[in-house]
Amino acid sequence: MPISLDDIRTLATAELPGPVLSIVLRTDPRDPANTRHTPAWQISLRTALQDIGEVVERDGSREQRLALRELAPAVQRELAELPADRRGRGLAWFVAADRSLDRRHVLQLPPSGDVVRWDARPYVVPLIEVVDRGQPVVIVLVASDSVRLVRWEQGQASEPGQSVYDLELGDWRDYAAYAAANPARGQQTVTNVEAYEQRVDAWRQRFYRAAGATIADRLAELGVSRVLIAGERGLTQAFAELVPPELGRDVLADAAENLIRADPAAIAERVEGRIVAARIAEARRAAEDAVQAARERRPAALGPDETLQALAAGRVERLVIDPAHEFPVARLGSAAVETLRRPEDDMVAECAVELAVASGASITAVAVRDAPALAEADGIVATLRY
């Protein structure tokens, strides 16, 4: 199961008696750095644990020193022995010194990088970007005589029940890969080619309208609001122009012609880049809208000071944040500092995310480089409930 915002909320609000080792690793075997004899993620893990160990040995209590001495080598050994299918393209592991918390999530959408923390609470901010980039999408695969649905979420594609709308049946059916073609198709003999092509075009338009209407009705059932249309060049645009507006927002017109017959894993690999790019564009618009709301003095909070105070008061409707942005505590006002559970520079984004998930706010994660409007907000902005 993909990691969810509820999973992050559970981790962020966990009350634990002792410190937690938070590990988020980019284990993606496609990364060149992970094809070496010793993958980059193993080097990052080992280096981070050594650095943490030095700090704990110098500053930690006796209980913490003993706990980490036992936990660190056990974690390295267990992760090194994991088979590739249990590492996925990313791995998140949260384990308490006394094992009162031991939660692991295999990610099929890789995180931005490797993060290892030893702290009083789970460090969840690296997972927000994975959940946000990986929001579910219905991929509508278009051919001349059938339309197929595939549900994509966090790098994984799956086939919902009754996923193919077929011209001949005029109804939904389950997908049967590489079904035999109808031998009657393509064998019609006509004397008036232009008249025949006009009939085919009218027939396809009726089919696309009917399929589009039924897909629009199924979005709520599939738990999805975003749609990607993919298929043969020339057909995708025709489909998008004939269906309800909510299905025509994102068209991938250059997909391989046989994509409608591909297995879900191949489809996920083919369209993932386009889905993630569309999500970044949405996040950019969210940042621009929130910044504009602040300029116009509508309910919005601009910058770390205002946003942290609004989060603490439970007023935030939507938080837009660059999780990797630097938020120096020295630049914050006293009211904002008081809202921080752990007032270190590298914990400001984490505290903002924890407050957001605890209050039920939606979260959009986007880098400042991808959303220039966020630079005006110093990496964080929010629209407010009131």
Residue 186: predicted pLDDT: 46
Is the per-residue pLDDT at 192 higher than 70? no
Which of 227, 262, 297 is the C-terminal boundary of a domain?
262
Q: Are residues 126 and 188 in the same domain?
A: no
In whole angstroms, what is the distance from residue 322 CA to residue 277 CA?
16
Higher pLDDT, 236 or 385: 385
pTM over cut 0.75: yes
Residue 183: predicted pLDDT: 45
Q: Which domain holds residue 71?
A: 5-133
pLDDT class for 251, splitting at 50, 70, 90?
Answer: low
Report the domain count for the chain. 3
Which of 262, 288, 319 is the C-terminal boundary of a domain?
262
Q: What CATH number corresponds to the domain at position 300?
A: 3.30.1330.30
Dihedrals phi, psi of 162, to nearest 5 degrees: 50, 70
> Is residue 273 domain-resident?
no
Q: Are residues 46 and 75 in the same domain?
A: yes
Which of 113, 133, 153 is the C-terminal boundary of a domain?
133
Q: Are residues 116 and 148 in the same domain?
A: no
Is the per-residue pLDDT at 182 higher than 50? no
Mean pLDDT of 46-57: 97
> Is residue 231 domain-resident?
yes
Q: Are residues 63 and 84 in the same domain?
A: yes
Residue 362: predicted pLDDT: 94
Q: Are residues 256 and 143 in the same domain?
A: yes
Q: Are residues 104 and 149 in the same domain?
A: no
Q: Are residues 18 and 123 in the same domain?
A: yes
> Is residue 267 domain-resident?
no
Q: Are residues 285 and 310 in the same domain?
A: yes
What is the gyration radius of the CA atoms in the chain, in angstroms? Answer: 25
Tally of residues, the chain: 386
Q: Are residues 127 and 19 in the same domain?
A: yes
In whole angstroms, what is the distance from residue 74 CA to residue 69 CA?
9
Among 120-124, 143-147, 225-229, 341-345, the range scoring the smallest mean pLDDT is: 341-345
Q: Are residues 363 and 314 in the same domain?
A: yes
Q: What CATH number corresponds to the domain at position 213?
A: 3.30.420.60
Is the per-residue pLDDT at 59 higher than 90? yes
Q: Are residues 106 and 165 in the same domain?
A: no
> Is residue 10 domain-resident?
yes
Is the per-residue pLDDT at 209 higher than 60? yes
> Is residue 271 domain-resident?
no
Q: Are residues 188 and 249 in the same domain?
A: yes
- Please state, in angstroms and as integers, the Cα–Cα distance from residue 214 to each residue in 149, 161, 334, following that order: 11, 14, 55
> Is residue 12 domain-resident?
yes
Which residue in this structure is represented by tokens 């999530």? 105
> Is residue 272 domain-resident?
no
> Is residue 84 domain-resident?
yes
Residue 174: predicted pLDDT: 79
Higher pLDDT, 124 or 189: 124
Burial of residue 341 (number of CB atoms within 10 Å: 0-12, 13-18, 19+): exposed
Q: What CATH number corresponds to the domain at position 32?
A: 3.30.960.10
